[in-house]
Amino acid sequence: MRSLLTLCLALAAAIPTQADWPQWMGENRDGNVSGTGWIKSIPAEGLKTVWRMPIKGGYAGPSVADGRVYVTDYVRTSGEAVNDPGARATLGGQERVLCFDAKTGKKIWEHAYDCPYSISYPAGPRCTPTVDGDRVYALGAEGDLLCLSTADGSVIWQRNFKKDFNSAVPIWGHAAHPLVDGDQLICMVGGETQSVVSLDKMTGKEIWKRPTVGNDIGYCPPRIIQAGGTRQLITFSPKGIESLDPKTGKPYWDVPLTPLYGMSITMPQHDGNLMFASGIGSESVMLELGSDQPTVTELWRGEQKTSIYCANSTPMIVDGVIYGSDCQVGHFAAIDTKTSDRLWTTFAPTTGGERRAKHGTAFVTKYGDQFFLFSETGDLIIAAIDSKEYNEIGRFHVLEPTGECFGRSVVWSHPAYSGKHLFARNDKEIVCVSLDADDYK
């Protein structure tokens, strides 16, 4: 009987569960969709939309946890929301944190607060809410950090980066999704005396901060990796990549990388002993991480016709190949991690055709041996991709692109994948689409 129980427990542990998507890029911030029973193709009649709910503007993707969906938006009451990459728009309005039932779309609660905007591309918040137990953490475009109860949206604690840390708001707003690590909430704050700040996630009190010179922190979210026998906190600012001790903020190593316009956006990707980082302006680097201590060696840097230079979406490394969207010309590309050579390029998953488009975007996630790509055109794409080719299996138009960039309409919001469903948003609605294979038998 004891042997049978042991076998049952082992089998249960071996079966993947349908994980929540409690933060940007999923449970582990790695873009991997877990569990079984997801669709492997798109039927001729298309996919089933489970529900749609109206929301307002924003770039922040949704998060999903414990049967609830969280998303932020901006309700504009005054000013003109003109997209000018070189100037800040002045608006009046409210930022909101919204909570919906994942099955029905019914709104459970909302928390709103006044938030005048003075940023470029002022559609709304950029940061996906981070859910941790009975709390959800939301960072607004102007630096309002909220810890709310998941039960009813009531405020547990709040901070404001401008008032509390004398931080200047980046021209494109705060976009670095806060990271929960143990008892800490780690944030890219900026200011003349700090870059990264660790807060007690229960109280909002400061634990440590990483000193810096200057206000510019860029837009890249922090992440934790395990390398060199050490847990390392990785940050990417307009000055370069840093590895820090997550407990103290003390540095292990740093590598200069200076994308144009302070646009450190894409989270450095870690695969085994490799780390890849890139930014606008032909800035990219491949690093080799130390095997027995937190050190780093530079392997190569991208050149004009090699590598990939990402901005809006984070690439993925799979089996020695980098897959991602290039901000210079807008193509989707496969890059050899050893040589930096471009193995192939295509515009199909970004702009939907064979045309150049600055910041052409496809958000990359992986399920088993296939990829789920979410295009700036509002399409979900299932693709089989390897070092030799891009093979599109099918696509479905989920929602309309309502944002604007360089004269074209775009959706620049990373979707969530949870419970065999896709959750995506634009500036008018949030949509739930079934990706459950059983729904299409």
Phi, psi of 39 (to 5 degrees): -65, 150
Amino acid in position 123: A
Q: Which two tokens stand for residue 188?
A: 């890219």
How many other C-beta atoms lie within 10 A of the C-beta of residue 327? 25
Q: What is the pLDDT of residue 422?
A: 98
Q: What is the pLDDT of residue 213?
A: 65
Q: What is the pLDDT of residue 3?
A: 47
Say how far apart CA 38 and CA 19 lie, in whole Å: 12
The pTM of the full predicted model, rounded to 2 decimals, is: 0.94
Say how far apart CA 173 and CA 177 lie, in whole Å: 12
Say how far apart CA 336 and CA 310 lie, in whole Å: 15
> In terms of C-beta density within 10 A (0-12 exposed, 13-18 middle, 19 or more buried), how is residue 299 classed?
middle
Question: In 3-state terms, the chain is what percent helix, strand and coil (to 5)?
Answer: 5, 45, 50
Q: What is the pLDDT of residue 4?
A: 44
pLDDT averages per 10-residue partition of the chain, 441 residues:
43 51 96 96 97 98 98 98 94 98 98 98 98 98 98 98 95 98 97 93 97 84 97 96 97 96 95 95 95 97 94 95 95 97 96 85 96 97 97 97 94 98 98 98 92
Phi, psi of 335 (to 5 degrees): -125, 135
> In terms of C-beta density within 10 A (0-12 exposed, 13-18 middle, 19 or more buried), how is residue 244 classed?
buried
Residue 346 vs residues 305, 316, 353: alpha-carbon distances, Å:
15, 16, 8
Residue 70 vs residues 103, 146, 212, 250, 334: alpha-carbon distances, Å:
13, 13, 33, 33, 33
Between vectors from CA 259 to CA 187 and to CA 256, what angle results, nearest 5°? Answer: 75
